[in-house]
Structure 1
Amino acid sequence: MAERPTAPHVLAITFLYYKDLPRAFAFYRDVMGLRLAIDQGDLAKIMEIAPGAHVGLVDEARGMNRWQAEKCVQLCIRVADVDGWHAYLAAEGVAGLSRIFANEAIGIRAFVCRDPEGYQIEIQQATRAGA
């Protein structure tokens, strides 16, 4: 039986597929404030969310998968100031912005919004240690 490699993982990337890559890139860079970590030209832009965690924005015409109208993926970003992020994204006119809600069972306060092509983003803050 083969042994699984024991070296630690280097980073994590979740890829999302877009019809308009420049528009998605501008949103995540300019509105969400994510840093471009890896530039793969017209194919993809890999944006750092937090150390080791990334979202890859892919041109659906060039990537391994195709854009889908119905999204079944949610990008969740944990922050230190959910109220500040809600106020900021409201001022930016971001689509699909919900009210802030609490889920005491899992210990968060959060809200959701949509990126330019409909992916749901949840912005959440822990309300207790270990949540």
Structure 2
Amino acid sequence: MPRPETANKLAITFFYYRDLPAAMRFYENVLGLSLAIDQGWCKIYRIAEGAHVGLVDETKGMNKWLPEKCVQLCIRVPDVDAWYAYAQEESLDNLSELFVNDDIGIRAFVFNDPEGYQIEIQSATRPGA
């Protein structure tokens, strides 16, 4: 049977939390994301057109919370400097210095959400990057 050729509707990356309300407050109040889909124990937030992050109560989801995180949520923004100033003001956990990666053409910084997932905020330094 051939693979379906219809366009995808959206993408969701799921993170698992022990304290879902605290995660929700962070993604809503600190990152300013809006709740797109409320499934009760799973809250799906819109990052950009077609891109979403799902916050899941680990007691009910398909996976469980683990202390070691091997994923990163990266959000591309038009003004990384403004976001960095905001992140400093908010004293975000494990906030890095603002850095440039010429190999991939970005300026960025990272920090952790309330349960240790790393978030990168970046802007492109050249067209097509």
* Same fold per superposition (TM over 0.5): yes
Identity %: 65
Q: How far 1:130 moved relative to its partner?
A: 0.2
* Partner of residue 64 from structure 1, selected from 55, 62, 65: 62
Deviation at 1:92, TM superposition (A): 1.1
Residue identity in the other structure for 1:86: Y
1:10 partner letter: K
Q: CA–CA distance in 1 between the matches of 2:104 and 2:90?
A: 29
- Segments of structure 2 that go 5 or more residues without pairing to the other structure are none
Task: Report the secondary structure of 2:54's partner residue.
Answer: strand
CA drift of 1:93 comes to 1.6
Q: Cα RMSD (Å) of the superposition?
A: 0.5
State the aligned residue count.
129
The 5 A counterparts of 1:58-97 are 58-97=56-95
SS in 2 for 1:72: coil
TM-score, scaled relative to structure 2? 0.99
Secondary structure of the 1:91 match is helix
Listed one character per residue, the Cα deviations across residues 18-40 of structure 1 (whole Å, up to 9, x for unaligned) are 00000001100110000100001
**Consecutive unaligned residues in structure 1, runs of 5 or more:** none
Task: Tell me which stretches of 4 or more aligned residues in structure 1 moved more than 2 Å.
Answer: none
TM-score (norm. length: structure 1): 0.97
SS in structure 2 of the partner of residue 85 of structure 1: helix
Q: Give the Cα separation in 1 of the matches to 2:87 and 2:44.
A: 22
